[in-house]
Chain A
Amino acid sequence: MPTTFNWTSGLVFIGFFALVTVLGFFAARWKAGDLTQLHEWGLGGRQFGPVISWFLVGGDFYTAYTVIAVPALVYAVGAYGFFALPYTIIVYPFVFAVMPKLWSACQKNNHITAADFVQGIYGGRWFAAAIALTGIIATMPYIALQLVGMQVVIKSLGVTGELPLVVAFVILAVYTYASGLRAPAMIAFVKDIMIYIVVIAAIWLIPSKLGGYASVFDAADHFFTAKGGSTGITLKASQFTAYASLAFGSAMAAFMYPHTLTGVLSSKSAKTIKQNAIALPAYTLLLGLIALLGYMAIAAGVKVTSATDVVPALFLKLFPSWFVGFAAAAIAISALVPAAIMSIGSANLFTRNLWKPLIQPNITPSQEATNAKVVSLAVKLGALVFIIFLPTQFAIDLQLLGGVWILQTFPAVVFSLYTRWLKLPALFIGWLAGIGLGTTLAFMQGIKPIYAVHLGNATYPVYIGVLALGVNIVLTLVLSAVLPARSTSISRSPI
């Protein structure tokens, strides 16, 4: 990593950053709506067609942290790091089948969050509040990790200190406050096009400098053979269940997060969501190629002390400085879009499902929107403080636990679309047990996502989120069967 500021890459970076800042403020007037209404500020007026949604959800789901962390994992362990690929493929049949139903249910009742939807079906306040709290807590460290992505690329430009990060985030916070979801929707266009350019250039040029893909894979193969352990360019048989369950669990969790749901709910129709499920895998192809940057770094002989530096280090080694600046801007802007949508999604949850029902029931619609705007500011400041004052590992651990937790909202959100047979106390207990078990198992492993299940003489490592979800579902079903009929407790139930 360089220690002096490179003017060429630095100026290219600043130029693109300035461009998206202008766009962010300009976005308030785009497809103009009354931004004092929460569905206008927080869902962009529910009017995004297939093209805007494609950029928005793509920009939201494939984050800066992904671009940094996936190649870093592949660089460190090889094939195992590729679970992100099957994960981001099998997520789409799920989105295709389930999300249009959720959209329709939410649009009919002006729901803007998953917790709204759950509250609408089961009544009460406390379970919806629990769903909302799960979403907020799972998302906060995710926002912090976007900052890590930004920090890594800023460092690669030869800039030290936290000031650039603070400036970038304050700008982001202000235009999200002003423009709401319209800001990231507009910036997503720039971000996605830039990332496509960077990745296509990288996968085109880098292998030719390194002697082709065959020699890239060869170099990785030799590297891992020498390294030993559970690494390699194919999986060890003992890694199969971990790989598959991580892919499956992550795919089921992905669209339970407030930021991805916000993206889905901002679509203008259920049909738009189906069309997007067909077209969004284009980003997965991109992600697969981004993952390969980890092997290219090995083949190029890149040595880093922290694996997260691997992508910028590879670019610095092989690209001219103007392109390093462009790539750094692309990754930094990739952090802005999800960070904005995550803070909006969390703010929607806080306002709709915590503040309004528990503290200020007679809040007016415009007070509601103001409340959400302020919360979105607070959420981002929280993430900034988190990253500046706490070890990065803390955010990584929390994000991992967040994935386990958010998955426990799956039965309440998804099953309720198909059946009215489930009972509120059953869902609540299932959720609680899933969170409790998932957290306990994760801590027993020293905050790792995998737990080894012993069946007879065999051992199967499995993603903890999936184990906890299994217990959650079984409890929900059994308790729904044995608890007394719902008619007595519905709608006025205190939970």
Chain B
Amino acid sequence: MSSESIPSGKRTAGTLLLLIPYVALLWLPFYNEAHPSLMGFPFFYWYQLLWVPLTSLILYVVYRWVR
């Protein structure tokens, strides 16, 4: 937890990355649609489910990069 030693630019970039899932999921006009569907799942559902691994990926990137 030596957050003081991390360059502030890098930390800001990390924080911005962490905010992406909030924007992607809290702005409903992005995804409140039935189409295009994927494997029978309407867009509304597979879009949100897709953000589960994407969020993990973002956290992983920040974890490796801003330590």
Name A's B-contacting residues (CB within 8 A): 79, 82, 85-86, 89-90, 92-93, 96-97, 100-101, 104, 207, 212-217, 233-235, 237, 240, 243-244, 247-248, 270, 274-275, 277-279, 281-282, 284-285, 288, 292
Contact = CB atoms under 8 A, between A and B. Distances in A.
Contacts of A215: 40
Nearest to B58: A93
Contacts of A279: 56
Q: Is the interface of B mostly helix, strand, loop or mixed?
A: helix
Contact of A288 (B26, B27, B49): B49
Given A90-B22, A90-B25, A85 B40 contact: no
Contacts of B60: 278
Nearest to B64: A278
Contacts of B15: 97
A233 B32 contact: no
B4 to A, nearest CB: 13
A233 B26 contact: no
B48 A82 contact: yes
B21 A79 contact: no
Contact of A233 (B27, B28, B44): B44
B55 A233 contact: no
Nearest to B55: A89
Interface of B: 1, 15, 18-19, 21-22, 25-29, 32-34, 37, 39-42, 44-45, 48-49, 51-53, 55-56, 58-60, 62-63
Nearest to B18: A93
B28 A93 contact: no
A436 B63 CA distance: 39
A270 B26 CA distance: 28
Given A89-B52, A97-B15, A285-B52, A212 B40 contact: yes
A240 B28 contact: yes
Contacts of B25: 86, 89-90, 244, 247
A216 B45 CA distance: 13
Contacts of B28: 235, 240, 243-244
Contacts of A97: 15, 18
Contacts of A92: 55-56, 59
Contact of B18 (A96, A240, A248, A284): A96
Contacts of A93: 18-19, 21-22, 55, 58-59
Contacts of B44: 79, 82, 233-235
A212 B21 CA distance: 30
Contact of A100 (B1, B32, B53): B1
Contacts of B41: 213, 217
A272 to B, nearest CB: 12
Nearest to A103: B1
A399 B59 CA distance: 31
Given A217-B40, A233-B34, A285-B52, A278 B26 contact: no
Contacts of A240: 28-29, 32
A243 B28 CA distance: 8
B8 to A, nearest CB: 15
A282 B40 CA distance: 22
Contact of A248 (B26, B32, B42, B56): B26
Nearest to A101: B1
B48 to A, nearest CB: 5
A280 B26 CA distance: 20
Given A213-B40, A278-B59, 13 more contacts: A82-B44, A89-B55, A90-B25, A93-B59, A104-B1, A214-B40, A234-B32, A235-B28, A240-B28, A244-B25, A274-B59, A281-B55, A285-B49
A285 B1 CA distance: 29
Given A97-B18, A234-B33, A247-B25, A85 B42 contact: no
Given A96-B59, A240-B29, A217 B48 contact: no
B29 to A, nearest CB: 7
B43 to A, nearest CB: 8
A278 B39 contact: no
Nearest to A279: B56
Contacts of B62: 96
A212 B40 CA distance: 7
Nearest to A283: B52
Contacts of A278: 56, 59-60, 63
Nearest to B63: A274
B35 to A, nearest CB: 10
A85 B55 contact: no
Contact of A86 (B26, B40, B59): B26
Contacts of A285: 49, 52-53
Contacts of A216: 40
